[in-house]
Structure 1
Amino acid sequence: MTVLHQLRRALLKPPSFTQAYGGTRTLTSPYHTENNSTAFIKPDDQNNRKTQGKWLTLPPFNTTINGASLGKNIAGIRQSTGEGNESTTTAIKWVMRCCPQLPRSLVQKLFRLRQVRRKPLESSNSVGDVHASECQVKRVSAKDSMRFGDTVYLPITVEASPTEKTECLCTEEELKFLHDLELYKDSAIIVINKPTGMPVQGGIGIKRSLDELAGTYMRYELSEAPRLVHRLDRDSSGILVLGRTQYSATVLHSIFREKTIGASNIDLKSEKRFLQRKYWALVIGSPRRPQGLISVPLGKVVMDDGRSERITVVENVSTTASQHAITEYRVLDSSFHGLTWLELSPLTGRKHQLRVHCAEVLGTPIVGDYKYGWQAHKKWNRIQIASSNLEHKIEVCNKSSLPFGLNLESGSIADKQPNLHLHCKKMVLPDVSSAIKQACISSSDYDFADIKSLKFDAPLPPHMQRSWDILSS
């Protein structure tokens, strides 16, 4: 509180631009890095910097390819030159890109107190030319659009501001476990194999999430934190993609969004799809057909207690808010125990889509899904397995020694209460890193249909692998 109080007092002082531009601190442009990171980059020679200056100079704004437009082009939705290809960036977004280490609340406060300045390109001969540029430096609002060459100035006191979050400490074992989850990494994305039971995002009662852990320990050479671009339920597992920069995350968001929007126009027989996801699930029962397409609207229903909700199939879309959800499925293997392995390919990305489609449409709820398949689990005649046949497959694990408190060794169909058997097994994703580099060196008319695809395959989690071994024996 003391630091923030001192910062507020400093910010409320009227600025002196004669001194400001005589002792400004300039940041290197973040777009000159090879990996297109928008990271905050400090000058190399800090010993020669003047400390009496009152302003921190951000890099001049560079017009960049709009990330959403690039995502659409990668998805095959062609846009003509000049049609939304240039990014519309507000002043607050530019500050957050250049200074990702600053708390968002502080940046908002700077704009609210009118302590952020902007100088247009055409008015400046040089940063130190006070007489030529002083009258052109004006206050800028958070939502004002940036123009090419605009230079933004922040009070120098922001350098002493506290960081937004305190780093969550990990043991060496936990840190090794976290990095072992990595399946792939390049300049644009990180792909990890999310374990069962680890939450993707923080919330009530959640101390550490993958979002927070990745932001702290998976930045590597970048000062930007990786960003989520899609979700997996806490109890599910498998391939999870994160964008390493704000720009790459915007491109990926657009790709996943266009996948859902254009699902009804997808040629199911075509092998060329810009985004493919395949989940493996063990379900109770067996579908009537070995393969098929599920296409039904889903809606949200609030339960009687008023605090919980669930997703369900909507019968009358004219009276109930809904979203269309499409899933391909095929049988991988059937067991005489009344269980079936399915491969599920969601063509849209709706909340709990696969779980509801299995439980309510196919009538085969996923093993371990007690939210949508509680009645089926009550009626399920559990498998009685002789322990002598599984001694070499099931190992007893000390739960207290597991990283992040996860219980990775139990939850198969041999246990009293199986974990959710839903795993994102495979994914095909456009090479976003190559697309971004190509967009930077080529015109907007470049045909991204030739961009290569990245293919990922995540091994089954321990509890599902044991269930597979049990049913295969």
Structure 2
Amino acid sequence: MSVAMLTVSEDEADIRLDRYFRRHYPHLTQGALQKLCRTGQIRVDGKRVEASTRLAPGQSVRVPPIPVASGPARDAPKTLDPRLAREIQGMVVYSDKQLIVLNKPSGLATQGGPGITHHVDMMLDGLREGDDPRPRLVHRIDRDTSGLLLLARTPGVAAKLAALFRGRDVKKTYWAVVVGRPDPLSGEIDQPLARLGAGPGSITVPAQRDDEDAQFARTEYEVLDSAGKKFSWLGLSPLTGRTHQLRVHCQSIGTPILGDPKYGAEKAHADGFTDRLHLHARSLVLPHPAGGWLEVSAELPPHMRETFRALGFTAGSTPAPRRR
């Protein structure tokens, strides 16, 4: 074993030194890393550093001799059932060297949990390219919500995209079929929310602004079409990202989403229509990590297409992804 000199890549901009080492040497413990920093064995551009130091592209990292891990690398490719690989590959609507966009079907969870054995996260090895890192989820959408789900091909891109979501730099548009017709036909729902309980049985409820657990929540909405006053097709743009925000906000203005048993109760059930949530993540517009902007849209799921036909709603063609 000998001293190695690594160069920080563009993908690793602003990453902490300890996270940089976890990426390159996943078997190295935090305590061992801190000791190597204290003793000056790890240096950046020849200078002593702390584990929390943030790195910049082009910097040189001195790596002392580190024992080779006895087990497989943490991010080593896994053997994935070919059926699962085909399943997730069939969801891809856009892909490039930085990111992947899926059209997730309704009923498929984003990640695992109690009683959930089939989910997007378990299939991500089916999207690897050669020895590249395993793609990473950037955000989540509800199990019963269909539509766009963003993945990053590398940890560095994942960090950049996650920051965009936190900073509200991503424009998200959802389509929903609701029971009733909002009045007025467009506006903003400014209703704080709170979570009650924990785990799978927890729910989101409207809250008073002075409630201790209240979270600020805002959604823009617009009626895109309606079938009299019985059903409406809404365009929804969440300005905040609370759990079940759109579902509770639609309920709070008296128009629950069709097929939503958790927040719509009996009013969300309508004879002749499937009891599946009619909420779809339709489009994303975001700054692309490599520059410019990306616009991408997702086809409606089968149950919503059927409902659109029954109600006479015309969605039109889905535009192709566009970089600009």
Same-fold status (TM-score > 0.5): yes
Query: How far apart, in 1, do the equivalents of 2:166 and 2:45 lie?
Result: 38
Q: Which residue of 1 aligns with 2:276?
A: 419
Closer/same/farther in 2, CA of residues 176 and 381 from structure 1, 3 Å limit? closer
Match of 1:374 among 245, 250, 265: 265
Cα 1:341/1:161, change in 2 over 3 Å: same
Of residues 71, 86, 92 in structure 2, which corresponds to 1:176? 86
Cα gap change, 1:327 to 1:144, in 2 (>3 Å): closer
The correspondence for 2:171, drawn from 260, 268, 276, is 276
Work out the CA distance in 1 between the residues paired with 2:172 and 2:270.
32
Partners of 1:169 and 1:188 lie apart in 2 by 22
Give the match for residue 16 of structure 2.
89
Instruction: State percent identity of aligned pairs.
Output: 32
Q: What is the deviation of 1:221?
A: 4.4
Equivalent residues of 1:277, 1:426 under 8 A apart: yes
Structure 1: stretches of 5+ with no match in the other structure: 1-19, 39-63, 65-86, 124-135, 260-273, 384-412, 435-451
Structure whose residues are more often strand by fraction = 2
Pick which of 285-294 and 335-344 moved more: 335-344
TM-score norm. by structure 2 comes to 0.83
SS of residue in 2 equivalent to 1:322:
coil
TM-aligned CA deviation for residue 283 of structure 1: 1.0
Q: Distance in 1 between matches of 2:153 and 2:200?
A: 35
The equivalences for 1:253-402 within 5 A come to 253-259=162-168, 274-302=169-197, 308-315=201-208, 317-336=209-228, 338-360=230-252, 362-377=253-268, 380-383=269-272
Shift in CA distance, 307/30, structure 1 to aligned 2, threshold 3 Å: closer
Largest Rg, 1 or 2: 1
Alignment check: 8 A CA contact 1:30 1:98 kept: no
The answer as to whether partners of 2:80 and 2:126 remain within 8 angstroms in 1 is no
The 1:332–1:319 alpha-carbon spacing in structure 2 relative to 1, beyond 3 Å, is closer
Query: What is the DSSP-based 3-state SS (H/G/I as helix, E as strand, rest coil) of the residue aligned with 2:309?
Result: helix
Q: Given residue 28 of structure 2, which amino acid in structure 1 is its aligned partner?
A: V
Question: How far 1:237 sits from its partner (Å)?
Answer: 0.8
The alpha-carbon deviation at position 238 of structure 1 amounts to 0.5
Q: Distance in 1 between matches of 2:279 and 2:298?
A: 12
Deviation at 1:461, TM superposition (A): 0.6
SS of 1:199 mapped into structure 2: coil
Q: Report the number of matched residues.
A: 307
Deviation of the 1:307 alpha carbon: 7.3
- TM-score by length of structure 1 reads 0.58
- Do the aligned partners of 2:174 and 2:236 also contact (CA within 8 Å) in 1? yes
- Asked if the contact 2:286–2:295 (Cα under 8 Å) also holds between the matched residues in 1, the reply is yes
The equivalent of 2:298 in structure 1 is 458
Contact 2:6 2:62 in 1 (8 A): no
Aligned to 2:43: 120
Q: In 2, are the aligned partners of 1:299 and 1:320 still within 8 Å (CA)?
A: no
| Residue 110 of structure 1, CA deviation | 6.8
